[in-house]
């Protein structure tokens, strides 16, 4: 932004998004951290899986571009959206591309609904969901990018309530705990988990209970007065008091 070089115009800006959800394959199985990938329809990396994304429009904010490609890919709005990193190594693509990558959380039940309805709409046949633990070969440096997004998620669930973004408006403490367990890949003590969540003040108990094969569990709602997490420099209020 100080002196201009002759080559500045040879750089293009793309925006990609790592879209994450925690979904169950069957109603009784453990939830699995999953993400959608898009099969490329042109070179380079033709026919390989890649992160959803596209070129940045000249009159479009970065975050808007991420939300747009997310909507085009999944038909969904994110419950959480944060910039991950700007990837710009010279040789990460045959042409010079700066990819500003975002990561997003979507609700599992919303995913289930839209994949049913949108399946035969526009070009949804090039989109597929994969378990984060079993990813296919990926185009560009997208495997590294996903690794970093998963690291950021696991790190952030440790000191914020981002994981709530995976859940519907009402849920049990077991739902929330299993979400954490699938993200962190380890078992959490139900008793201690309950105490920590209750002490954080991030949940509001309802009068409803979910009945099942055993003792009914109380349903909780999110406390919207508590933010999911600090989302960076563009929401100054939260960044002041981490």
- State in angstroms the smallest separation of the CB of 186 from DNA: 10
Closest CA to 52 of 42, 62, 67: 67
- What are the Cα distances from residue 238, in Å, to 65, 103, 131, 226, 230? 23, 19, 32, 10, 6
Among a copy of itself, DNA, none, the one that 189 touches (CB under a kind-dependent 5 to 8 A) is DNA
Backbone angles phi, psi at 14, to 5 degrees: -115, 155
Out of 121, 155, 196, 206, point to the residue binding DNA (CB under 7 A): 196
The residue (of 13 and 188) whose beta carbon lies closer to DNA is 188
* Interacting residue ranges for a copy of itself, rule: CB under 8 A: 1-5, 7-14, 16, 38, 40-41, 50-62, 69, 83, 85-90, 93, 96-100, 140, 144-145, 147-148, 151, 155, 232-233, 236, 239-240, 242
On whether the CB atoms of residues 32 and 24 are closer than 8 A, the answer is yes
Out of 191, 207, 236, 240, point to the residue binding DNA (CB under 7 A): 191
The residue (of 40 and 194) whose beta carbon lies closer to DNA is 194
Report the sign of the C-alpha dihedral through residues 224, 227, 231, 234, in that order.
positive
- DSSP letter assigned to residue 138: B
Residues at the contact surface with DNA, assessed by CB under 7 A: 172-174, 189-192, 194-196, 199, 209, 211-218
């Amino acid at each position: 932004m100080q002196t201009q070089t002759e080559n500045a115009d040879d750089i293009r800006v793309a925006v990609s998004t790592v879209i994450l959800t925690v979904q169950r394959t069957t109603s009784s199985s453990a939830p699995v951290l999953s993400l959608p990938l898009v099969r490329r329809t042109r070179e380079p990396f033709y026919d390989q899986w890649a992160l959803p994304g596209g070129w940045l429009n000249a009159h479009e904010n970065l975050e808007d571009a991420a939300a747009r490609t997310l909507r085009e890919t999944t038909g969904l709005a994110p419950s959480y959206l944060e910039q991950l990193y700007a990837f710009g190594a010279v040789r990460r693509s045959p042409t010079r591309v700066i990819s500003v990558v975002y990561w997003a959380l979507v609700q599992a039940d919303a995913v289930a609904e839209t994949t049913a309805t949108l399946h035969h709409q526009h070009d949804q046949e090039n989109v597929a969901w994969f378990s984060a633990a079993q990813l296919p070969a990926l185009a560009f440096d997208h495997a590294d990018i996903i690794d970093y997004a998963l690291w950021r998620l696991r790190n952030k669930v440790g000191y914020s309530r981002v994981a709530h973004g995976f859940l519907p408006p009402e849920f049990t403490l077991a739902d929330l705990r299993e979400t954490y367990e699938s993200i962190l890949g380890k078992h959490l003590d139900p008793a201690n988990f309950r105490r920590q969540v209750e002490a954080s003040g991030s949940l509001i108990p309802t009068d409803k209970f979910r009945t099942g094969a055993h003792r009914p569990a109380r349903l909780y709602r999110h406390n919207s007065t508590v933010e999911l997490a600090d989302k960076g420099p563009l929401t100054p209020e939260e960044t002041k008091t981490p």
